[in-house]
Amino acid sequence: MTRRDALRLGGTVAAGVAVLGCGGGDDGRTVTVFSPMGEVKNQALARQVDRFMALRDDLRVEVMPVPWDQGHAKLLTMIAGGNPPDVITATGQWMAEFRAMGAIEDLTSWHASWPHRDAFTQTALLRCESSTAIEEGRVYGLPLELTTRAMFYRRQWLEEQGLETASTRAGWRALLERITDRDRGRYGYALRGARGGFWTWWPILEEFSGTNEWFDEDQNCIINSPEHVAGLTYWNDIYRDGLAPADAVNWGYNELVQGFWSGICGCIEQDPEVVRTCLDHGMDESTLVTAPMPAGPRAHVASNDIWILSISRNAKNPDGALAFYEWMMSPEQLIAYSKDASVLPTVKQGMDDPYFGQGFLRPFMDMATNTSLLQNWYPSYLPEMGEFIEVLVTEEQQKMLLGRQSPQETLDRLAGFLGRAQQRYVERHGPDTPRPPGTAQSLAP
């Protein structure tokens, strides 16, 4: 069995499992759009598709909605199995990897004569460049939306205690203590103890250490430094001190958001589309307030990213895919989509739109456009990162939350795993690894 055969075999098995149920015809009319952005955004994109199809009855565009936490694995298996979707929605963190696999079409020649090529904001274009969606003048994808984290609070709980939203981590901890009332079943924070907990505690470690670097010059992982440990201790203590529900050790995204809007927890940090979820569950200006993320002792961190729309290099219907792409990426449609999904727009025209600059979305806009903040980053180029975030981190953080190991021991284990992963990567690809944004290397001309 040759290596290529093994690759094909494995990929086919994987893709067979992954794409079961994901339809798609070969009639030349069908365009498939992979959408792993979460329910609110997937539905908003599907409504855009409906509008497009009303204009183009010669095409049938099918949205393949996938929960975001399964998106990466599913897209990967579809591509590896030789059955990619025509249009791909991917986060900036995935871009380098899919480009390295040769899965993304080069759109440079189309983009050169596209009338809206100057419509995007500087922030969105910078994220495109740091994600390699745009590299050395070549265009592989354009920004669909900006995404960032901000804090959601239950307004009444704050008002009862005469509190304002917190601007520092120290103030935030004091706030959590004040609004927690276990006898009434009220907890300060909807803590993410299970899958995806990494996304909430890693920015805190960056705030406490003041850096988004993961490795030193000798490729040793530095995330177990005393400053990082202090950050993780801060997060762990929230749970250990009873400021989050005991069940939160098993909470993933759904339980977390539900824990907030159902009134068990007083605050949660999330992406802007959760505003829509809260409003759909009966919250309004009298019960909900959003605020920028609090700043840590050494840095104020923005968990920014973008969602990018690209076309698959092996699209079954490249012309139909480009027709949809061109229509969807026009400023008018991007703004319509952003309003529908309650997310941040990527075009200059949207910056002047009062819809995004006020109300619940204002803190998100402030976080996303403030270029002085430290940019959250992690080494997504390492093949072991899926294993790291999805299996190892969950296991180790739960052991810590349950008191079976200290934050120091937790980070020692995680740093050991990633240090070995980085060494392997350097052995194969050389020491010139991707670097976090905002470092000397990436700022060099």
Partner 1 sequence: MKKADPYLLLAPAYLLIAGFLFYPMATVFLLSLREYQLMDPLNTPFVGLDQYAFMLGDEYFWRSLWNSVVWVVVSLFFQFLLGFCLALLLNSTRFRGRGIFQAVVFAPWAVSGFLIAIIWAWLLNGEFGLVNDLLIRAGLLDQKVGFLSREETALLACVLANIWFGVTFFAVMLFAALQAIPPSLYEAADMDGATAWQSFWRVTAPMVKTAIVITILLRAIWIFNWADLIWVMTGGGPAGASRTLALYVFQKAFLGLDFGYSAALGVALTVVSLAFTAVFLRVTRFYGDEAAI
Residues that bind partner 1 (CB under 8 A): 1, 3, 6-7, 9-11, 13-14, 70, 73, 76-77, 80, 97, 101, 185, 193-195, 245-250, 252, 264, 383-387, 390-391, 394-395, 398-399, 401-402, 404, 428
Residue 58 or residue 428: which is nearer to partner 1 going by CB?
A: 428
In one-letter notation, the amino acid at residue 157 is W
Q: Taking the complex as a whole, how short is the minimal distance between the CB of residue 399 and partner 1, in angstroms?
A: 4
Q: Taking the complex as a whole, how short is the minimal distance between the CB of residue 249 and partner 1, in angstroms?
A: 5
- Listed as own residue / partner, the contacts of 359-364 with beta carbons closer than 8 Å and 24 or more positions apart are 359/285, 360/272, 360/275, 360/288, 360/290, 361/272, 361/275, 361/290, 362/290, 363/150, 363/151, 363/290, 363/291, 363/292, 364/148, 364/150, 364/272, 364/290
Q: What gap in Å lies between CA 363 and CA 232, rounded to an integer? A: 25
Q: Taking the complex as a whole, how short is the minimal distance between the CB of residue 264 and partner 1, in angstroms?
A: 6
Task: Report the chain's C-alpha Rg in angstroms.
Answer: 22
Q: Taking the complex as a whole, how short is the minimal distance between the CB of residue 162 and partner 1, in angstroms?
A: 26
For residue 435, report the phi and psi dihedrals to the nearest 5 degrees: -115, 155
Residue 7 or residue 174: which is nearer to partner 1 going by CB?
A: 7
Q: Taking the complex as a whole, how short is the minimal distance between the CB of residue 245 and partner 1, in angstroms?
A: 6
Q: Taking the complex as a whole, how short is the minimal distance between the CB of residue 43 and partner 1, in angstroms?
A: 21
Burial of 109 (0-12, 13-18, 19+ CB in 10 A): exposed
Classify strands 305-311 and 142-147 as parallel, antiparallel or unpaired. antiparallel
| Longest Cα–Cα distance in the chain | 70
Residue 230 or residue 385: which is nearer to partner 1 going by CB?
A: 385
Residue 117 or residue 404: which is nearer to partner 1 going by CB?
A: 404
- In sequence order, the β-bridge partners of residue 271 are none
Residue 265 or residue 367: which is nearer to partner 1 going by CB?
A: 265
Q: Taking the complex as a whole, how short is the minimal distance between the CB of residue 214 and partner 1, in angstroms?
A: 17
Contact 8, 26 (CB under 8 A): no
Residue 252 or residue 331: which is nearer to partner 1 going by CB?
A: 252
Residue 279 or residue 385: which is nearer to partner 1 going by CB?
A: 385
Residue 168 or residue 398: which is nearer to partner 1 going by CB?
A: 398
Residue 233 or residue 342: which is nearer to partner 1 going by CB?
A: 233
Contact 45, 37 (CB under 8 A): yes
Q: What gap in Å lies between CA 378 and CA 376, rounded to an integer? A: 7
Q: Taking the complex as a whole, how short is the minimal distance between the CB of residue 397 and partner 1, in angstroms?
A: 9
Q: Taking the complex as a whole, how short is the minimal distance between the CB of residue 309 and partner 1, in angstroms?
A: 22
Classify strands 138-139 and 305-311 as parallel, antiparallel or unpaired. unpaired
Number of H helices, E strands in the chain: 21, 13
Under DSSP, is residue 107 helix (H, G, I), strand (E, B) or coil? coil
